[in-house]
């Protein structure tokens, strides 16, 4: 069939724009592959004790974080979905507040509490009036600290996704279990858990990607992992070869989880069953009630109350940092970034999705769904690839693109675009999918052109959810560290970079104020968007 | 002056292998209504969607107002065709209430003044009570009426209706059919109506097309389709009458084993395509045979259906053929099953329609 035969052949321009957007969005992937092709493969690296060290560290952290987030995620999700106990409604919502805490800030709080003469020391002194409090406090190794920080801040993914799978489970299936005489223990292991497997694995894959991408926490605790080594070899030792090689290795690693996640997402559609009846929650009594409440309470306190109050406490205890601190400017910078980036990302996502809907070009829609792969690429790799891409292009075309994009607002937004475009794209896409295609058709048939169709039909339906997509992007940007740290303009600070800088200077008390603000705003954003996270139960 | 709208040698395809080939039909004059009739899954909707410009035309051409709107090299985009399509399923805009959905129809570019105002249409389609409601709050029948009103008020050159009365209950349906026909005739909107209900098609259509097995079997006036179905498929689809084995005596006279001589009217038959003396299948419709208690010719009753204004008796010949006969419901006495039923002789049938015996 010739092109001209398509009903919308006049929209060639948007075809090329969407193509360009898709091409731009795979720059990081492209750059790493180009770079790796010029790597001087030094296989002695594999025998290098350092290499073994950080591979080992990365794997150990990954393993324990996955284990802990599984426990922290699945158990409360199971409890709040199937049982009634004291505070169940509160815990159902409040457990996702852990999303407000970036892992590195949890790390700062951990060391603030457990260090010699830290908050833990003060607390014990206050209660027992002893001078020997330091000896009662455990002294965790850097790896344990990293694992704890990551697990308590990332379990939300597993919690949310397994809860959604539990809620979606058929009541009939559980009744069947009861009629077969299964105990609640057997029902959990034989029916509930296996049926929720795709959801749980998707959550764990996201945790794995975040853990492998994490830079702030491990670099703060001084654990050498892939990300810290990429950073060090690039920015400290200027060893591009190793940096590129490690980027490629890490990427292969992360892409494995990315593929697992996407495979399961497609697969889980067939697993989801219609929820036929209203589920009756079982009320827990006595010890069980107490244990359920205690578990959720501990989780909530450790994951959210602890870091927040620690930062609040320090902000009050060390008011001197407040004095010479440009709070207003930090707030302004952060919100400026959030608004520009989300406006840009959402506009591009709307344009691409609308264009794909109108053009109905298979090649283009497959290609633009490739462009969301960015969220799997660790921020550190994105930053490094942006820098090396623009150096490459600058030297190629003999025009200094580097100064335009490196250390500037544009470069920063581009970095966020690579990393967070998928949030905007998928969010808008799922809303577009809810609009039946026959609405577009009837609009055309009333003589409305594509743009009028968009303004009278699509936009009024889409705009209700755009706010939530904006919030989701805002939460991610406010917590983001490596891209901001590397690509930001000179002296441009956000909460996360400020806190990180203080922490690396060992001014851990000073991290309190930016961290507290960060947690505060992120929590507000999460509170606003509760409805979005819990859309499944109306 | 050529036809107002025509489909020439067109092949329609809905993407998968399903194809409807070599379709030819036309709307001769502005304001005429054409009905496309066929079993579900026959591809009627595909034809409408292609005419509207939502699907590509595989071969052939479609002309509207003397201009080509679809061919295999050209396709005018749907918003520029000035053709409206009222979908079978609900396609109202969910964020607008009934009244505002209808008002959207007024926003067509270069639209001429329509005879009816939105409020009058609400009234005609009995939507006054629901005008402030949103699409998810109304029934599917109401939604279909809203969609119909919205399409009408956009005053297209050609209106395509896909099963427009499918979700509407029987009593309201007949009212609405009249309302729609009146509006179309008054405003001179040409329409193509797709339906699987022959009565609806015969009532609305100036011309009807029967689509069976991916082929347009017959395209003619409702009268001709009813009385001169051109193939066995059309007869079977319309589910009217039965086929009896008869022998051709001459152009106007047939002979059946137990019914005896059957006379036809001159010029109202298709017997000239068969040789004399040949055995063919004759279409007998319920109104063809007349009841007469005093007649010598009697057949056994096997079934009786009460249809309000009339009865349909099913009779059985000694050859095991079943014949339907229509009797006025005011007929003095009822006949029970297995009774003998008299048929008036000699038998005269206005339209002799015969088919080759297979």
The dihedral through the CA atoms of B308, B225, B279, B267 has a sign that is: positive
Alpha carbon distance A301, A176 (integer Å): 37
In this predicted structure, what is the pLDDT of residue A71?
94
Bond into A289 cis (ω within 30): no
In this predicted structure, what is the pLDDT of residue A5?
40
Which helix (H) or strand (E) element contains residue B158? strand B158-162
Contact A447 B85 (CB under 8 A): no
In this predicted structure, what is the pLDDT of residue B337?
77
Under a CB-based contact definition with an 8 Å cutoff, are residues A40 and A249 in contact? no
Which residue has better confidence, A417 or B263? Answer: A417
The dihedral through the CA atoms of B216, B222, B226, B230 has a sign that is: negative
Q: Rounded to the nearest 5 degrees, what angle is found at the Cα of A356, between the Cα atoms of A355 and A359?
A: 80
Q: What's the gap in Å between the CA of A460 and the closest CA on chain B?
A: 7
Which residue has better confidence, A165 or B329? Answer: A165
Under a CB-based contact definition with an 8 Å cutoff, are residues A196 and A165 in contact? yes
Identify from A4, A9, A439, A445 which residue to disrupt to test chain B contact, counting B C-beta atoms within 10 A and taking the largest count.
A445
Residue A256's contacts (CB-CB under 8 Å, 6 or more residues apart) are none
In this predicted structure, what is the pLDDT of residue A44?
67
- Number of cross-chain residue pairs from A and B with Cβ atoms under 8 Å apart: 86
Model pLDDT for residues B159-186, shown as the tens digit of each residue: 999 888 888 888 888 888 999 999 999 9
Model pLDDT for residues A427-471, shown as the tens digit of each residue: 898 888 888 888 888 888 888 888 888 988 899 888 888 888 899
Model pLDDT for residues B17-62, shown as the tens digit of each residue: 678 888 899 998 888 999 999 887 778 888 888 998 888 888 889 9
Alpha carbon distance A530, A536 (integer Å): 11
In this predicted structure, what is the pLDDT of residue A538?
35
In this predicted structure, what is the pLDDT of residue B308?
77
Under a CB-based contact definition with an 8 Å cutoff, are residues A443 and A486 in contact? no
Alpha carbon distance B164, B144 (integer Å): 7
10-residue mean pLDDT series, chain A (538 residues): 41 81 86 76 68 88 95 92 88 89 91 79 76 72 92 93 82 75 79 83 89 90 90 81 82 84 71 56 85 93 91 83 75 90 93 87 81 83 88 82 82 91 88 86 86 89 86 91 89 88 84 88 89 63
Alpha carbon distance A177, A184 (integer Å): 9
Q: Which residues of B touch A (CB under 8 A)?
A: 49, 52-54, 56, 72-75, 77-80, 82-85, 87, 89, 91, 93-96, 104-105, 107-109, 111, 147, 150-151, 154, 156
Strand, coil or helix: B227: helix
Alpha carbon distance B304, A284 (integer Å): 67
Alpha carbon distance A146, A287 (integer Å): 33
Give the relative orientation of helices A512-528 and A306-317 as an angle to the nearest 10 degrees: 140
**Region of B82 on the Ramachandran plot (φ > 0 left; ψ -120 to 50 alpha; else beta):** left
pLDDT (mean) for B264-290: 78
Q: Which residues of A touch B (CB under 8 A)?
A: 1-2, 4-8, 10, 436, 438-439, 441-450, 452-453, 456-457, 460-461
Task: Report chain B's C-alpha Rg in angstroms.
Answer: 24
Model pLDDT for residues A145-201, shown as the tens digit of each residue: 999 999 999 999 999 888 888 887 767 777 777 777 777 778 888 878 888 888 888
In this predicted structure, what is the pLDDT of residue A377?
86
The dihedral through the CA atoms of A339, A428, A482, A393 has a sign that is: negative
Q: Which residues of A touch B107 (CB under 8 A)?
A: 446-448, 452, 456
Contact A445 B83 (CB under 8 A): yes
Q: What's the gap in Å between the CA of B1 and the closest CA on chain A?
A: 27
Model pLDDT for residues B237-261, shown as the tens digit of each residue: 887 778 888 888 877 788 888 788 8
Model pLDDT for residues B295-322, shown as the tens digit of each residue: 888 888 888 888 778 888 888 888 888 8
Alpha carbon distance A205, B201 (integer Å): 59
Residue A183: exposure state from Cβ atoms within 10 A (0-12, 13-18, ≥19): exposed
Q: In what order do the strands lie in the sheet containing B347-349?
A: B347-349, B260-264, B253-256, B242-250, B279-284, B354-355
Model pLDDT for residues B104-147, shown as the tens digit of each residue: 888 887 777 888 888 998 998 888 899 899 988 888 888 889 99
Contact B72 A448 (CB under 8 A): no
């Amino acid at each position: 069939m010739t092109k001209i035969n398509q009903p919308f052949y006049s929209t060639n321009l948007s075809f090329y724009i969407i193509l360009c957007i898709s091409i731009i969005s795979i720059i990081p992937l492209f750059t790493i592959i180009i770079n790796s092709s010029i790597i001087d493969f030094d296989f002695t690296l594999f025998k290098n004790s350092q290499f073994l060290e950080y591979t080992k560290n990365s794997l150990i952290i990954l393993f324990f974080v996955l284990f802990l987030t599984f426990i922290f995620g699945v158990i409360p999700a199971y409890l709040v979905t199937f049982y009634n106990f004291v505070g169940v409604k509160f815990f159902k919502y409040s457990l996702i507040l852990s999303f407000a805490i970036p892992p590195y800030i949890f790390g700062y709080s951990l060391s603030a509490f457990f260090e010699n003469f830290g908050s833990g020391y003060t607390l014990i002194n206050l209660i027992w009036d002893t001078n020997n409090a330091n000896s009662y406090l455990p002294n965790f190794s850097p790896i344990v600290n990293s694992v704890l920080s990551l697990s308590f801040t990332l379990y939300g993914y597993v919690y949310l996704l397994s809860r959604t799978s539990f809620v979606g489970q058929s009541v009939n299936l559980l009744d069947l279990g009861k009629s077969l005489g299964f105990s609640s223990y057997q029902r959990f292991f034989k029916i509930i858990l296996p049926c929720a497997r795709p959801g749980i694995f998707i959550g764990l894959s996201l945790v794995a990607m975040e853990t492998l991408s994490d830079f702030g926490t491990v670099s703060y605790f001084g654990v050498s992992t892939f990300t810290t080594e990429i950073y060090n070899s690039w920015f400290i030792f200027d060893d591009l070869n190793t940096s590129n090689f490690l980027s490629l290795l890490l990427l292969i690693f992360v892409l494995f989880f990315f593929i697992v996640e996407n495979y399961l997402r497609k697969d889980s559609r067939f697993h989801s069953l219609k929820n036929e009846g209203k589920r009756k929650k079982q009320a827990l009594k006595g010890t069980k009630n107490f244990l359920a409440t205690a578990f959720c309470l501990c989780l909530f306190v450790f994951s959210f109350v602890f870091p927040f109050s620690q930062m609040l406490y320090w902000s009050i205890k060390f008011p001197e940092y407040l004095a010479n601190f440009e709070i207003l400017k930090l707030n302004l910078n952060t919100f400026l970034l959030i608004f520009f980036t989300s406006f840009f990302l959402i506009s591009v996502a709307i344009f691409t999705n609308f264009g794909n809907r109108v053009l109905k070009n298979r090649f283009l829609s497959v290609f633009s769904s490739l462009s969301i792969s960015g969220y799997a690429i660790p921020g550190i790799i994105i930053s490094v690839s942006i820098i090396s891409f623009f150096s490459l292009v600058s030297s190629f075309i003999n025009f200094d693109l580097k100064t335009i994009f490196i250390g500037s607002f544009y470069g920063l937004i581009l970095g966020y675009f690579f990393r967070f475009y998928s949030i905007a794209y998928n969010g808008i896409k799922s809303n577009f999918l809810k609009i039946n295609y026959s609405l577009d058709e009837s609009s055309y048939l009333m003589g409305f052109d594509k743009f009028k169709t968009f303004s009278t039909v699509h936009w009024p339906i889409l705009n209700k959810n755009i706010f939530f997509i904006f919030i989701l992007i805002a939460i991610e940007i406010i917590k983001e560290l490596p891209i901001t740290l590397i690509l930001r303009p000179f002296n441009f600070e956000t909460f996360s970079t400020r806190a990180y800088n203080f922490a690396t200077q060992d001014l851990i008390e000073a991290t309190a104020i930016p961290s507290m603000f960060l947690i505060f705003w992120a929590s507000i954003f999460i509170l606003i968007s509760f409805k979005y996270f819990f859309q499944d139960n109306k | 002056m050529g036809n107002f709208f025509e489909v020439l040698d067109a092949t329609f395809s809905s993407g998968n292998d399903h194809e409807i080939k070599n379709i030819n039909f036309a709307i001769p004059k502005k304001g005429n209504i054409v009905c496309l009739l066929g079993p579900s899954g026959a591809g009627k909707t595909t034809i409408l969607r292609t005419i509207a410009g939502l699907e590509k035309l595989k071969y052939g051409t479609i002309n509207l107002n003397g201009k080509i709107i679809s061919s295999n090299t050209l396709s005018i985009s749907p918003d520029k065709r000035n053709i409206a399509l009222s979908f079978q399923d609900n396609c109202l805009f969910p964020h607008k209430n009934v009244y505002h959905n209808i008002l959207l129809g007024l926003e067509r570019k270069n639209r001429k003044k329509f005879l009816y105002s939105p409020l009058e249409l609400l009234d005609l389609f009995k939507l006054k009570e629901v005008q402030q409601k949103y699409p998810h709050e109304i029934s599917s029948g109401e939604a279909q009426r809203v969609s119909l009103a919205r399409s009408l008020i956009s005053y297209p050159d050609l209106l395509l209706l896909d099963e427009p009365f499918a979700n509407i209950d029987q009593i309201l349906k007949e009212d609405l059919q009249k309302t729609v026909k009146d509006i179309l005739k008054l405003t001179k909107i040409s329409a193509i109506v797709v339906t699987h209900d022959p009565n609806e098609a015969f009532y609305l259509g100036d011309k009807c097309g029967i689509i069976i097995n991916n082929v347009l079997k017959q395209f003619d006036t409702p009268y001709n389709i009813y009385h001169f179905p051109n193939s066995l498929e059309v007869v079977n689809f319309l589910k009217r009458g039965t086929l009896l084995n008869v022998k051709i005596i001459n152009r106007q006279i047939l002979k059946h084993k137990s019914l005896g001589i059957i006379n036809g009217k001159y010029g109202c038959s298709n017997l000239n395509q068969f040789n004399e003396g040949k055995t063919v299948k004759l279409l007998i419709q319920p109104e063809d045979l007349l009841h007469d208690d005093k007649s010598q010719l009697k057949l056994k009753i096997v079934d009786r259906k009460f249809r309000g204004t009339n009865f349909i008796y099913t009779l059985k010949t000694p050859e095991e053929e079943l014949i339907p006969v229509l009797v006025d419901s005011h007929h003095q006495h009822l006949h029970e099953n297995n009774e003998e039923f008299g048929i008036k002789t000699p038998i005269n049938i206005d339209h002799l329609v015969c088919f080759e015996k297979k």
